[in-house]
Amino acid sequence: MKLRNLSPNYTKKVWELLSKFKAYLNQHQPTPELAKSFLAQYFNHKPNTFMRYFTYTQGFMTWYGSKLDTKVKAPRLTPPYHTEDQIVSLIEATKNKKTHKKLTLRDALLIELATTSGMRRSELAGIRVVDIDFENNRIQITGKGNKKRTIPLLESVSRKLQRYCQDKAPHESLFGLKPACISNQIHLLAKKAGVDLHTHSLRHYFGTRLVEKGANIRAVQELMGHSSLNTTQVYLGVTSKHLESAVKLLEE
């Protein structure tokens, strides 16, 4: 099976799952029944994880010529809600007298970029200095499937980036960190700040804030790099407090 135009991380996950499937088959020919039995052991995993395993296995069975027709729908989860105060606390956690100023600025930029652009951790890791247009305050992002999108930068973030990039070469990695390292750093900062969140939470925060501010859902889709509007629509899920506020508008 040849995988085209896919990120190395995605390809790695596919092959890891297919290796498990191969071991499960134990030299038996793959059949829909065996595939269902294999997937059953992952049913209690996180919905997104199970759906990913199902998609990979279904794709393999289709390639093999034996379709896996079972339709499975993972429950749609509303992204966890985080407050602006929590994000401020996270940024404050980057300040450490024992840490070099450059690293402090790097960590603060990781958080500010994620919360003002909605970038995934792989996208943050892939940014090069040359991808940033300081004159027009824009940044080019390489997303899933190597799809590129250009989004605006807040002027305040652009200025910090320009200061951070002063001694960097044009094609040099902006942060010099792999995706897993970015996740680990955010985890450490969140723990220090006493906030329960992870790297993807910062992306959720961005999407949620845009919707709260009344941004057009199509614009949110474009900014976040979602291929389907259905994915973006999970950010329309709101708290009861927001629902009450909406109804009270009728009294004004």
What pLDDT score does 224 carry? 93
Interatomic CA distance for residues 185 and 199, integer angstroms: 9
Nearest to 173 by CA among 225, 110, 118, 93: 110
The per-residue pLDDT for range 208-236, each reduced to its tens digit, is 888 888 888 899 999 999 988 878 877 77
What pLDDT score does 240 carry? 44
Question: What's 84-238's CATH class?
Answer: mainly alpha
Interatomic CA distance for residues 221 and 227, integer angstroms: 8
Q: Which residues are catalytic?
A: 120, 144, 200, 203, 226, 235
What pLDDT score does 248 carry? 63
Q: Domain residue spans in the chain? A: 8-64, 84-238
The per-residue pLDDT for range 97-125, each reduced to its tens digit, is 677 889 999 999 999 999 999 999 999 99
Paired with 173 in beta bridges are 128
Nearest to 105 by CA among 151, 163, 147, 60: 163
Interatomic CA distance for residues 208 and 87, integer angstroms: 13
What pLDDT score does 103 carry? 93
The per-residue pLDDT for range 166-201, each reduced to its tens digit, is 999 999 999 999 999 999 999 999 999 999 998 989
